[in-house]
Amino acid sequence: MERHSHYFDNDPSSPSRESFVELALPDLTRSLRTDSGVFSNRKIDLGTKFLLLEAPTPDNPPRRMLDLGCGYGPIAAVLEHRFPEAQLWATDINNRALYLAAKNLIGSNSVACRPEEIPQEVRFDLIWSNPPVRIGKKKMRSFLLVWLERLEPEGSAILVVNKNLGSDSLHSWMEREGWNVNRLKSFKGFRLLEVGRNG
C-alpha cells in the first residue's frame, strides 16, 4: 500500500520540486532554497516567523548554537546572521531538508548534519527550535530532553509550539522534569518558551 510522505521522513518519497521562499525580517532578507517533502516549503511557517521576530538576544554572545529540527534552515539562517562569531549546528533527520539547509547556510562557522553527527561532547549556549510535535508526544518529549541536557549550565533554549499542538502541557511537563520554563510571548496560539536549568 502506498504510504504518504511526512516532512519528518528520512528520505521523502515525493518527487523533488525545488523552489525558493522569501525570509523577510527587519534585520535580514534572504531567498531560501526549499523543496517538496520538507516542512512549510511554500512560506516561512508562522510559528517560525514568530520565533525569529521575538526571540530575545542572549545577555552573553553565544559560542555554540543549535537549530534543532532545522528543515531547510530558516532559523539557522537567522542564527548565523545574528551571531556570526558563534559555531552553528543545524540538524535534522530529513536528508532532503539537510541538503537544502547546507545550501542555504553561508556562514563559515555553520554546519548542517544529522543529529548523530554532532559530536557527543558538544554543548550549546543557545538552542532555537520549532520542534517536530507531529512525531508524537512521547517521542517528541524524549527527543527534547536529550538535547536540553546538552545545554551549557547558563544556556537556554527558545522553543515555539502551538497551543493546539500541546504547548501548555509540554510547558508543565518540562517543569516537572526539573527545567525552568518561561512563557515569553503568545501570538495566534503560538507560545514562545524559554527553557533553562533551575537555580
Question: Given the rule CB under 6 A, which residues bind ligand SAM?
Answer: 7-8, 39-40, 45, 48, 69-71, 74-75, 91-94, 97, 115, 130, 132, 135, 143
Q: Which three cell numbers stand for residue 113?
A: 548534519
How many other β-carbons are positioned within 10 Å of the β-carbon of residue 29?
9
**For residues 47 and 15, is the Cβ–Cβ distance under 8 A?**
no
- Smallest gap from residue 23 Cβ to ligand SAM (A): 10
Q: How far is CA 154 from CA 59, 126, 148, in A?
A: 10, 9, 12
**Residue 48 or 110: which CB sits closer to ligand SAM?**
48
For residue 71, give the DSSP letter: T
**Residue 127 or 181: which CB sits closer to ligand SAM?**
127
**Residue 94 or 167: which CB sits closer to ligand SAM?**
94
- Smallest gap from residue 104 Cβ to ligand SAM (A): 11
- Smallest gap from residue 116 Cβ to ligand SAM (A): 9
Phi-psi region of 136 (alpha: psi -120 to 50; beta: other; left: phi over 0): left
- Smallest gap from residue 198 Cβ to ligand SAM (A): 25
**Residue 92 or 125: which CB sits closer to ligand SAM?**
92
Q: Which three cell numbers stand for residue 65?
A: 548554537
